[in-house]
A and B are shown apart, each in its own frame.
Chain A
Amino acid sequence: MSLAELICPAGTPAALRTAVDAGADAVYCGFQDATNARNFPGLNFTPDELASSVAYAHEQGTKVLLALNTYPPAGKFDLWRQAADTGARLGVDAFIVADMGVADYIARIHPGIRLHLSVQAAASSPEAIRYYCENFGVKRVVLPRILTIPEIRQIRKEIPCEIETFIFGNHGLMIEGRCSLTNYLTGQSTNMDGVCSPASDVEYKRHEDGSMSSQLAGFTIDCFRSDEKAGYPTICKGRYRTAHRDDAYYAFEEPISLNLSRLLPELIDAGVHAFKIEGRQRSKSYVRGVVSAFRQAVDDIRAGRQANIADLVALTEGQKQTQGAFETKKWR
Chain B
Amino acid sequence: MSASPDTLNRATGLHLPGFARLSCLIAQPVLTRVVQRIAKRHPSMFARLGSHRTTDFLIDPVELPFALHLRPDPQALVLRAVPRHAAPRAGATIRGKFLLLLELIDSEEDGDAAFFSRDLEVTGDTEAVVRLRNALDDVDGSIAEETAEMFGPAGRAILARLRRAYPT
Contact = CB atoms under 8 A, between A and B. Distances in A.
A12 B134 contact: yes
B130 to A, nearest CB: 4
Given A40-B130, A286-B112, A212 B121 contact: yes
B118 A205 contact: no
Contacts of A12: 48, 134, 137-138
Contacts of B113: 285-286, 314-316
A226 to B, nearest CB: 7
Q: Which one of B49, B107, B109, B123 has the greatest number of beta carbons of chain A within 10 Å?
A: B107
Given A12-B137, A283-B112, A230 B126 contact: no
Contact of A230 (B104, B115, B127, B137): B115
Interface residues of B, number: 32
B50 A282 contact: no
Interface string A266-283: 000000000000000111
Contact of B116 (A40, A42, A230): A230
B133 A283 contact: yes
A224 B111 CA distance: 18
B131 interface: yes
B116 A229 contact: yes
Given A200-B127, A315-B110, A15 B117 contact: no
A206 B121 CA distance: 8
A141 B78 CA distance: 49
A17 interface: yes
Interface residues of A, number: 40
Contacts of A212: 118, 121
A273 B126 CA distance: 38
Interface in B120-141: 121-124, 126-127, 129-135, 137-140
Contact of A286 (B110, B121, B127): B110
A167 to B, nearest CB: 18
Interface in A204-230: 204-206, 212, 224, 226, 228-230
A14 interface: yes
B108 interface: yes
B48 A42 contact: yes
A251 B45 CA distance: 40
Contacts of A43: 48, 130, 134
A173 interface: no
B137 A283 contact: yes
| 9 closest Cβ pairs, A-B complex | A42-B134, A42-B131, A12-B138, A42-B48, A199-B127, A284-B107, A202-B126, A286-B110, A285-B110
27 contacts: A11-B134, A12-B134, A13-B138, A14-B137, A14-B140, A15-B137, A17-B140, A41-B131, A41-B134, A43-B130, A199-B126, A199-B129, A200-B127, A203-B126, A226-B118, A282-B110, A283-B109, A283-B133, A283-B137, A284-B137, A285-B110, A285-B113, A286-B110, A314-B113, A314-B117, A317-B112, A317-B116
